Amino acid sequence: MKGKLKLKEDHSKLEIDNKVRRQCEDRVLHKTKKRSIPVIHRKIAIKKSIIFIFNSDNQIVMKNIRAVLIAGFLIVINISVYSQQEFMITQYMYNGLALNPAYAGVHDAISMSALTRHQWVGIEGAPTTQLVSVHSPLKFKQISLGALFYRDAIGVKKEHSAYFSYAYRIKITPKIRLSLGIQANLHQINQEYRSGAADDPNDPVLINDNSMKFNAGSGFLLHSDRFYVGFSVPQMMKTKFGSQELAVGRLVQHYYATAGYVIDFKNGIIVKPNVLYKDVNNAPAQLDLNFNVLLKNVIWVGINHRWKESNALLLALQVGPQLQVGYSFDLNHTDLHSTSHELMLNYVVNINPQVMLTPRFF
């Protein structure tokens, strides 16, 4: 008789546990599905929260309390976060090769750049990006080559990529050129969880992966020393990482349109507005509006507005015609209320002694 009572009590407790599990999942999913949360972060957080709650030996009341607290924590941390696949930088107007292979050789010199970005400071697993690039024309002819290497990390995922660019430049007028560019890309994705975190080997969200894929991009750039207009697709092919059965990530097409213009007021002040439009399949379009002012050919001061996401302050020091050092401070005005910081360094080497270098405007 006691055995039957014990079995009945265990069965009742199991039903209560299952009910709590469903309530926790319903709370989290009901709240988060209304927001634009990165899918991988949302699933990982929900999975870990449920594991934490139901692997405990505490009483049912404590499990209910934990379910409510953790669900609330997930909502506060993750609300209004847009998923991103390609790295995002604020000082794009000085690092055009990161967006468009046709940018290669635009300065008629050897151009080298380095940049580091720390996004959403204070949030665990927030994106960080580092990149270096170099590009140059070949013997003052119509062909230019470029290379860009970057590391992008978000959560447990780390990406190391290399872009190799080729640009063919056509002289439209003595001052205006049309550049047509193509690039070959190599992407290496590493997604690794700590031991014991991925309890289900068939869960595509929690599976470890280390794979490399090839992609290609193209673009054009119409420019002079006073303006530029460009369009590019850095990732032309859809790429899936992981196995055929379990995909841990995908690269989809990103479409970039850029433009900028330099206005010289002849009194030591130069104004340069820039615009960047980005469109991604199955994601909201993004618009960056930028306005920079160069004072006495030495100090750049600018502002940037990323539509429905952030505002940024940009400062740059022009140390002669060759060296440029820049910094941007982004303030996110979504529910994240976070900040981002970006440091940039550009250096130009003159390879044509018959041409005098001038400060670069883009």
Tell me the pLDDT tens digit for each residue of 74-86: 333 333 333 445 7
Burial class from Cβ neighbours inside 10 Å (0-12, 13-18, 19+) for residue 112 reads middle
Give 46's pLDDT tier (boundaries 50, 70, 90): very low
Question: 292, 243, 236: which is closest to 263 by C-alpha?
Answer: 292
The set of residues, in sequence order, having a beta carbon less than 8 Å from that of 41 and lying 6+ positions away, is: 78, 81, 125, 155
- pLDDT tens digits for 287-321? 999 999 999 889 999 999 999 889 999 999 999 88
- Residue 236 has which token pair? 């032309």
pLDDT band at 200 (very low <50, low <70, confident <90, very high): low
Strands 227-233 and 269-280: unpaired
Q: What is the mean pLDDT of residues 250-275?
A: 89
Q: Would you say 142 and 150 are in contact if contact means Cβ atoms under 8 Å apart?
A: no
Helix (H, G, I), strand (E, B) or coil at 62: helix
Q: Alpha-carbon distance 314 to 311, whole Å?
A: 10
The stretch 142-165 carries a mean pLDDT of: 92
Q: How far apart are CA 40 and CA 26, in angstroms?
A: 18
User: Mean pLDDT over all residues of the chain?
Assistant: 76
